[in-house]
Structure 1
Amino acid sequence: MSVQLLAAIVVAIIVVTLANAFANRIGVAGPLVIMAIGVAVSLAPAVPAVTIAPEIILVGILPPLLYSAAVAAPAREFTREAGAIGGLSVVLVIASSLLLGLALSWAIPGLGFPLAVALGAILSPTDAVATTIVKSLGAPRRVVTILEGESLLNDATALVTLRTAIAATAAGFSVITTIGSFIWAVLSAVVVGGLVGVIALRLRAWTRSATANTALGFTIPYLAYLPTEYLGGSGLVAAVAAGLVCGQGAARWLTPEQRISDKLNWSTVESVLEGVVFLAMGLQLWGIIERNIAADEGLGRAVGIAALAFAVVMVARAAYVFPMVSVRNTILARSVRRRLSAADGDRRIVGRPDARRARADSDYFQSSPLTWRHSTVIVWAGMRGVVTLAAAQTLPADTPERDLLVLVAFIVAAGSLAVQGGTLGFVVKMLGLRGEGREGPSREEIRAVDGELRRLTAHAMKEGRIAIPDGADAASVLATSHLFRTLRADARGPAGGERLELELELIRAMRAELRTLARSGRYSTPSLRYVRDELDAYEISVKLHLDGAE
């Protein structure tokens, strides 16, 4: 590694960190500030044109970035919104690619329909920066969940569509072959990614060293990506699948130290990598313009084509989202009523987990119904980003008017980030949705989960499933639990070790009950994870005091 490259990496990390801190102070999304810095630097006369190989982003950065998002994904909420997420990340991406193919084959004569569809696939996926902005505005959680799921999966759909379209330009278009290639790319990725996630959890459970676990954890996205690409599948889908498996299996297989370490590590990785790709996006502006000018293409034509493409994707998104939300509300209402009716009609199944989940699902959908206002936010939050630019640069070198196509992709991506990202807060405020939700878990729900855990644990002690000291009862034990001051006082005496062992038993019991609560669907994933993190941190503290007592 050259000194210049090392210096560039160090400077990039510093710029990303400081820009995010500055953006938080002024209330602007960090990626927008970072991209603006990159654009400003690229336009400086002393700075040469910057060209970044697309493989660096597609292979080096995107797998861990998508994996980190998948690890933190709220699985229960994703399951509830699976219809909306699947429609936006698969159906809408494919439909937008085909519509853009028709429009771009007309706007760029000689391009051909398959290549036009390839460019359409490049312009179709939305960027995760929208989720960051919407979260910070306190938009409803259902909107955030849908946007999170869409941004997590639609990149892979778009890249699979792009690969299929490019292959069709060389081998000729065949509906059966195209559909078969798409299905294989997704299914092979799900299988390989899921298998890698399962194996990784077992290995990390066996490897107790914190440093070894951290190192092994960083390899998981690539262990899923590389073999899947070799098999002709989508490596990004595999990285997402591995992340979902590892994220959901962490509570069962990993230790508290591993879970807390993973949370901090992947949060850092996600923040740095996301900032780096937006900085790279801005830095490449002048180089893209220079290549386009050298190819004797005027900027006006690129702007016109980009405006057409942007109009098509936004109209297609609106035409899909509004009916989808309306139809989905009707279907969900009928489905929930049917499940509740079945549970109420048969008293034998009222207390069964599926009946409780039906009741929880009903409460979830009724507490936050989606209206035309929420649909408007979902439509306007569909901005393009770094995947669009990186994917555009993977077009074959002999692609007709390749420089023009790359510039169009950049204008659409940068323009949508600037226009939609800069006005999304205004739109949310005008629709009266600002502050309707909140970023992070609900304090009321956290207290409810804590109370439920204490009740269930007390019941377990009364039944004798948790041994308590002689002369004590469940109420007194729980009253002194979770108090760091009491722990320190108890640990000084000869009975301190026994008391600390009891605390560990309580923590294990509460964690088991927490998994039961998670399966019930009554509480949100952020609140459940917050309580789990508290238990993990408390267990680490207890173990430290137990070591001191010995």
Structure 2
Amino acid sequence: MELVLIVVLCVLAIAAANLLAPRLRIAAPLLLVIFGVVVSYFPGVPRISVDPEIILMGVLPPLLYAAAVAMPSMEFKRDFQAISGLSVVLVVVSSLGLGVVFMLILPEADYATGVALGAILSPTDAVATTTVKRVGAPNRLITVLSGESLFNDASALVMLRAAIAAMAASVSLWGVAVQFVWTVVAAVVVGAVVGWVFIRIRAKIENAVVATAISFVTPYVAYVPTELIEGSGLVAAVAAGLVSGRGAVRHLNAAHRRSDVQNWRLVELLLEGSVFLLMGLELKDLVFDVHESHETIWHALWPAALGFVLLVVLRLIFVIPLVHWTERRAQRVIAREERLEQLQSDLADAEHLDKRRARLVQNRIDRRLADIAYYRMESIGTREGFVVVWAGMRGVVTLAAAQTLPADTPYRSMLVLSAFFVAVGSLMLQGGTLGWFVKKMRLPDQEAQEAAQRRAIGREMASVTQRVMMEPDACGADPQLARSIETVRRLESADGEDEVGEIDYLGDEMVDRRLETAKQLRRVRRLIVAEQRKHLLGLRERGSYSSSALTAALDRLDAEELSLDAQAPPASTT
């Protein structure tokens, strides 16, 4: 009974935080952490300690999988260098740099212990992405921050493993590098295979709820075997999510996709809220551990403050040059536009190429030209770089990773509490001011460009509709169908008494004709929806429009497909 009451109260707290957060303009995770800290010191509330494996293995795989499914694949490819720099190189630099500092300020700590703490503090949290989205930041900035939060958890945990191993024995730099490569490559291969297999298994299941239930085990099926071969289970979960997200539109129907979206949003809400609530509730236990080790909160607070400042400084030193390098690379890509357009013109005049080869070359040129349009519209500069720096908040991974330190680690209790202070402090300071900071940076407003893209997609959809209506498989096979559809549509929308009388006079014959015409309407509309979706997938492959505009168009098609399913008469049981 007591456990049930705790679960109910936690769910209500998560719901309340998410309802209040938009009104208070505070991130919901921050509210939950504060609530947990306050509740932990209520009289009678016991000390709460959560096994870190529950977070690392039970909670993070589905959260990262869900985020990867929603990741726009084309934008991810375009900024892969920047994302990999932030999620891998910056994590390594921060871990090694902080390792030197902590070795100097903690007398009994060696360099391996310092690197371990640096790795614990290095990964950023995805909370920043939600905040940046809310204030209307450019899509490219959101993609970079989302990609960083997906992969830097795994990078930091690999560095932590290497540092812990170095505490017990000597580990060569070459061995660490080889292990890191194997960890990532093995994870990507296993995760991609799992994602590919599961998306095709789910495509053969008619019941959308059952298919979604199977999707809940996908991140764990990717995680477990990867960990057994000493890869990164978290990277495997991300890879499975990326493959599943890309294949869902092509292989699953609208009911499956809608079920996935709704149910996974609920899972994300509860899991993410639970871990931040637990962060706050664990403070009391962490403070008691520090006191039992004959240390004080101050001993944990000032290293945490120093670590936080160094993290921001290192991030600033790394991000600003990375942003300028990324923009210079984009300008080099843009400079190829004239050459690509000339190649496109030459290809149109070439008669010796077979159609298949010409189509492949044309698709590659179209993708490059779409990349140029993207870089020109979504430029990234110093102001965006400052936002990336300030959006580097720490979160639950930092606390969970700290609790995996061996029991004989020097200053273990103090290091865990320091990690808590860094995580909560960054959530409060950076999370509480990120919205204001983004507005102060006066980033370019892309609403007009986004609206123009949606109108352009609408025109392309209208063109597809017109083409389908002219095909023999649609109304072209029956010249009377189009006129019948128009007549019934006019009669059904009529308000005049004469027209209503006309409907009554036709009786059963008219009803039958109306039913038949409605059936034909649904058939034709399904043809149109199928062709429009095919056309949108082609646009997505070429990257012709932003992922947000294409996703909105695909969502509208899903809604129409579900509406057509609802209008269809039930199958006869006799």
TM-score, normalised to structure 2, is: 0.89
Deviations 1:507-542 (A, max 9, x none): 111111111111121211122122112111211211
User: Retained in 1: the 8 A contact 2:49–2:282?
Assistant: yes
Q: Which amino acid aligns with 2:32?
A: I
User: Retained in 1: the 8 A contact 2:62–2:220?
Assistant: yes
Match of 2:478 in 1: 470
Q: Which amino acid aligns with 2:220?
A: Y
CA separation in 2, counterparts of 1:475 and 1:498? 12
Match of 1:167 in 2: 165
Deviations 1:481-509 (A, max 9, x none): 9xx989xx999433322221111111111
CA separation in 2, counterparts of 1:265 and 1:312? 40
Q: Which amino acid aligns with 2:147?
A: G
CA separation in 1, counterparts of 2:242 and 2:534? 21
Match of 2:543 in 1: 521
Q: Which amino acid aligns with 1:543?
A: D
User: Aligned to 2:44, what secondary structure does the other structure show?
Assistant: coil
User: Retained in 1: the 8 A contact 2:484–2:517?
Assistant: no
Which one of the candidate residues 149, 156, 159 is aligned to 1:158? 156
Match of 1:538 in 2: 560
Do residues 412 (structure 1) and 422 (structure 2) align? yes
Deviations 1:305-359 (A, max 9, x none): 1111112111110001101111111121112322542442552347812222222
Match of 1:110 in 2: 108
User: Aligned to 2:335, what secondary structure does the other structure show?
Assistant: helix
- Within a 5 Å distance, the mapping from 1:295-306 to structure 2 comes to 295-306=293-304
> Do the aligned partners of residues 105 and 491 (structure 1) sit closer, same or farther apart at CA in structure 2, a change above 3 Å counting?
farther
- Within a 5 Å distance, the mapping from 1:209-358 to structure 2 comes to 209-338=207-336, 340-345=338-343, 347-349=345-347, 352-358=362-368
CA separation in 2, counterparts of 1:467 and 1:188? 52
Q: Which amino acid aligns with 2:478?
A: D
Match of 1:120 in 2: 118
Deviations 1:142-163 (A, max 9, x none): 1111111111111111111111
> Do the aligned partners of residues 492 and 382 (structure 1) sit closer, same or farther apart at CA in structure 2, a change above 3 Å counting?
same
User: Retained in 2: the 8 A contact 1:62–1:236?
Assistant: yes
Query: CA shift at 1:104, angstroms?
Result: 0.8
> Do the aligned partners of residues 357 and 475 (structure 1) sit closer, same or farther apart at CA in structure 2, a change above 3 Å counting?
farther
TM-score, normalised to structure 1, is: 0.93
Which one of the candidate residues 445, 448, 454 is aligned to 1:436? 445
User: Retained in 1: the 8 A contact 2:219–2:237?
Assistant: yes
Do residues 453 (structure 1) and 461 (structure 2) align? yes
User: Retained in 2: the 8 A contact 1:114–1:173?
Assistant: no
Match of 2:391 in 1: 381
**What are the ranges of 5 or more consecutive residues in structure 2 without an aligned counterpart?**
349-358, 495-510
CA separation in 2, counterparts of 1:463 and 1:341? 37
Deviations 1:284-319 (A, max 9, x none): 111111111111112222111111111211111000
Do residues 393 (structure 1) and 403 (structure 2) align? yes
Q: Which range moves more in the overlay, 444-453 or 108-117?
A: 444-453
Query: CA shift at 1:463, angstroms?
Result: 5.4
Match of 1:140 in 2: 138
**What are the ranges of 5 or more consecutive residues in structure 1 without an aligned counterpart?**
none
User: Retained in 2: the 8 A contact 1:38–1:280?
Assistant: yes
Which one of the candidate residues 27, 30, 36 is aligned to 1:29? 27
CA separation in 2, counterparts of 1:404 and 1:323? 35
Do residues 82 (structure 1) and 91 (structure 2) align? no
User: Retained in 1: the 8 A contact 2:319–2:389?
Assistant: yes
Q: Which range moves more in the overlay, 244-253 or 25-34?
A: 25-34
Q: Which range moves more in the overlay, 465-474 or 534-543?
A: 465-474
Larger radius of gyration: 2
Percent same amino acid at aligned positions?
Answer: 44
Q: Which range moves more in the overlay, 467-476 or 536-545?
A: 467-476
Match of 1:403 in 2: 413
Do residues 504 (structure 1) and 526 (structure 2) align? yes
CA RMSD of aligned residues (A): 2.6
CA separation in 2, counterparts of 1:126 and 1:71? 19
Q: Which amino acid aligns with 1:546?
A: A
User: Aligned to 2:409, what secondary structure does the other structure show?
Assistant: coil
Query: CA shift at 1:78, angstroms?
Result: 0.9
CA separation in 2, counterparts of 1:548 and 1:400? 69
User: Retained in 1: the 8 A contact 2:66–2:264?
Assistant: yes
> Do the aligned partners of residues 430 and 491 (structure 1) sit closer, same or farther apart at CA in structure 2, a change above 3 Å counting?
farther
User: Retained in 2: the 8 A contact 1:185–1:232?
Assistant: yes
> Do the aligned partners of residues 497 and 420 (structure 1) sit closer, same or farther apart at CA in structure 2, a change above 3 Å counting?
same
Q: Which range moves more in the overlay, 69-78 or 496-505?
A: 496-505
Q: Which range moves more in the overlay, 384-393 or 30-39?
A: 30-39
CA separation in 1, counterparts of 2:484 and 2:335? 43
CA separation in 1, counterparts of 2:6 and 2:539? 48
Deviations 1:369-408 (A, max 9, x none): 2121111111011010110001100111111111011011
CA separation in 2, counterparts of 1:264 and 1:134? 22
Q: Which amino acid aligns with 1:532?
A: L
CA separation in 2, counterparts of 1:543 and 1:485? 22
Query: CA shift at 1:474, angstroms?
Result: 9.1
> Do the aligned partners of residues 185 and 226 (structure 1) sit closer, same or farther apart at CA in structure 2, a change above 3 Å counting?
same
